[in-house]
Amino acid sequence: MKTLLLGDLSPSEITNPLFEEKEIEKLFNDTISVFQGNDMNFVNLECALTDSKKEIEKFGPALKATPGVADVLAEIGVNCCGLSNNHIFDFGKQGVKDTLDALNEAGIEYTGFGDNYEDSRKNIVFEKDGEKVAIIAVCEHEFSYALEDRMGSRPYDEYDTIEDIANAKKENDRVIVIYHGGKEFCKYPSPRVMKACRAMVKNGADVVLCQHSHCIGCYEEYMGGHILYGQGNFHFVVSWDWIDKSIWNNCLAVKYDTKTNKIEFIPFVVKDGGIAIAKGEEKEEILSKFEKRNEELKNGEWKAGWHAFCESVKDNYIKVIREGYAENATDRENARFAHYLDCEAHTDVWRELCPTYNMTNEK
């Protein structure tokens, strides 16, 4: 089975008008050719497709786009959307209802969302010529994940997710895991993320793709499985001046052949308000830096890269610690502290910045 696996898609104030007008050539340029000839084209839908204006309480932007985005995705060949991420619930239950209605009307299947925690754990399986491929889409604990008594995205659980992967492997030829997690803007995995992804492969995952970081990370082949620690955005063109566009504006499209277990990475870049296939020097620069980081996974230098990133965001993390539940703390400051405790990516940084005596005692 030929598959195309893509990262975060979220129309913005720049691109939403183009989606509304179905300006496909401007939006996707020559990347449309990559969608052709595949049995499955998967995209992580990093927003609600709704006209609702009622945002949930959260930190960070609430993302939405016109429901007509689903028709555009269907037209370019997308036949499956992942909904396990930290933005799909940004406009609450109404936003989710509108999103699911739009996808259903466009004939696009979806996975990674359910009426409650147990319901969210349902896999989606694609079948062709007797071959069965399961997709398991999970996210870290931020603003959208399902609870025992509330709808939401399928959350990563260090016990249940591993069990789900093992069970899926018993019933399917291939298992693809989409892991929406890791630290945003970091090109290296945390030690926990690396351990988790390797455990997924040990228990039956053939491909593990880490999304959410908004940048291209690094790759390793591990025990016959493929792990990409950071795929980058697929289509997320923004004007925000607080982000580093040099990493935000490129990504890797992943082509995976389930029969041969071969994987291919195709770099995309932002061009003229849309995206295009990277070429020439731009392509070479993206891939050479990617290969360098891949070597750092092998020789251990990635640990220094991870630590340096944590040091670069230290002031913010220490600020959250100091303000949370302090004598004059606001409800918002307390809520941010609680969120940082809840989310694995944030606690990964805290553990790196705040080692215990057990980590520093004599060796």
* pLDDT at residue 362 in the model: 93
Q: Is pLDDT at 202 greater than 90 in this prediction? A: yes
Q: Mean of the pLDDT values across residues 338-362? A: 96
* pLDDT at residue 321 in the model: 95
Label residue 249 by pLDDT band (50, 70, 90): very high
Cβ atoms of 136 and 174 within 8 Å: the answer is no
Q: Is pLDDT at 8 greater than 90 in this prediction? A: yes
Cβ atoms of 256 and 216 within 8 Å: the answer is no
Label residue 357 by pLDDT band (50, 70, 90): very high
Q: Which two tokens stand for residue 18?
A: 């183009």
**Residue 151 to residue 145: CA distance in whole angstroms:** 8
**Residue 43 to residue 231: CA distance in whole angstroms:** 12
Task: Kindly report, residue by residue over 259-304, the tens digit of the pLDDT.
Answer: 999 999 999 999 988 999 999 999 999 999 999 999 999 999 999 9
Q: Mean of the pLDDT values across residues 303-308? A: 98
Where are any strands of DSSP class E within the chain? 2-9, 40-45, 48-49, 64-65, 80-82, 109-111, 113-114, 124-128, 131-139, 152-153, 174-180, 207-211, 216-222, 225-231, 250-257, 262-271, 274-277
Q: Mean of the pLDDT values across residues 40-68? A: 97
Residue located via tokens 């910045």: 353
Q: Mean of the pLDDT values across residues 197-211? A: 98
* pLDDT at residue 164 in the model: 98
* pLDDT at residue 272 in the model: 87
Question: In a 3-state reduction of DSSP, which class is residue 237?
Answer: coil
Burial class (CB in 10 A: 0-12, 13-18, 19+), 76: middle
Cβ atoms of 126 and 132 within 8 Å: the answer is yes
* pLDDT at residue 310 in the model: 98
* pLDDT at residue 29 in the model: 96
The most distant pair of C-alpha atoms in the chain lies apart, rounded to whole Å, by 64
**Residue 90 to residue 103: CA distance in whole angstroms:** 17
**Residue 92 to residue 347: CA distance in whole angstroms:** 26
Nearest to 29, CA basis, from 255, 252, 277, 267: 277
* pLDDT at residue 344 in the model: 98
How much of the chain, in percent, has pLDDT values that exceed 70? 100
Mean pLDDT rounded to a whole number for the chain: 97
Cβ atoms of 229 and 249 within 8 Å: the answer is no
Question: In a 3-state reduction of DSSP, which class is residue 72?
Answer: helix
Cβ atoms of 255 and 7 within 8 Å: the answer is no
Q: Pick left, alpha or beta for residue 86 (phi over 0 → left; psi -120 to 50 → alpha; otherwise beta).
A: alpha
Q: Is pLDDT at 135 greater than 90 in this prediction? A: yes
Question: In a 3-state reduction of DSSP, which class is residue 93?
Answer: helix
Where are any strands of DSSP class E within 250-314? 250-257, 262-271, 274-277
Label residue 165 by pLDDT band (50, 70, 90): very high
Q: Mean of the pLDDT values across residues 321-339? A: 96
Task: Kindly report, residue by residue over 136-163, the tens digit of the pLDDT.
Answer: 999 999 999 999 999 999 999 999 999 9
Angle between helices 69-76 and 92-106 (to 10 degrees): 40
Angle between helices 344-353 and 331-342 (to 10 degrees): 90
**Residue 100 to residue 323: CA distance in whole angstroms:** 39
* pLDDT at residue 168 in the model: 98
Nearest to 60, CA basis, from 309, 238, 311: 238
Nearest to 95, CA basis, from 61, 49, 62: 49
